[in-house]
Amino acid sequence: MACFVNKVVIVTGASAGIGAATAVRFAQEGANVAIVGRNQERLAKVAEDCAKYGRNPLVIKADVSKDDEARSIVAKTVEAFDKLDILVNNAGIYKYDDIQKPDFMEIFDSIMTTNMRAVAFLTNLAVPYLIESKGNIVNVSSIAGRCVGHPHRTSYKTSKAALNHFTRCIALELAPHGVRVNSVSPGPVATEIFNTAGLPDALTTLKDATALGRVGESEEIADLILFVASDKAKSITGSDYVSDNGMLLKQ
């Protein structure tokens, strides 16, 4: 029997990569999914993939970094399904930066706004409904939040380190209400984020940097997210699950 029948799930950054794979897996397991992203065409494709399992998702075109649009995500989901059980904060951006360059703060602010502030705001909006449903939150972080190597990624790494600590703090705060909060930290995964960042060849280098000599697939991370969000993990909160093909072992 499907694990998430009639559960209501929001997945941000669902138009591609890990978010898309996660949305489809939740639909496959019987959930009502709200898929959130900025690319309408890609969202439509993900919606088709979800619908193959008998569940038409709620498609929400929104930029999580904009407060009004973030508000609409939670409002539209609750309006459509009357509740919220799981929030997957997956939306994120990745850019190179250089502390010596004039555009450093512009890049820093844009990354922190999307990768950290938007998560905090969406969590704030979703919490009343999650307390009511005794639901949970899964934040998609990165092993970049744990390591310092490889320069010119300061903004991204700082955002993910902040996200990890935010996860732990909110897990403690919401535990008395029966709401679990965890994070998943992938290593390199074959997604569009590198192309979007203008780094199409990055995966080749990153593959060689892993102990297992491979990069992850979006579906692997989706499966981990579903486990953490499921009742199989009902004793787990404030934890960070790493799936990196052993990359941290070589840092």
Task: Identify whether the C-beta of residue 174 lies closer than 8 Å to the C-beta of residue 123.
Answer: no
Q: Which of 94, 129, 156, 241 is catalytic?
A: 156
Element (H, E) at 204: helix 202-208
Say which residue the tokens 């993939």 belong to.
Answer: 49
Q: How far apart are CA 20 and CA 30, in angstroms?
A: 16
What's the rounded Cα separation, in Å, for the pair 74 and 72? 6
- Quote the distance between the C-alpha of residue 88 and its chain's center: 5
Distance CA 33, CA 35 (A): 6
Local structure of 111: helix, strand or coil: helix
Q: Could you confirm whether 53 is annotated as catalytic?
A: no
Residues 6+ apart with CB under 8 A from 158: 108, 112
Catalytic residue numbers, as ranges = 156
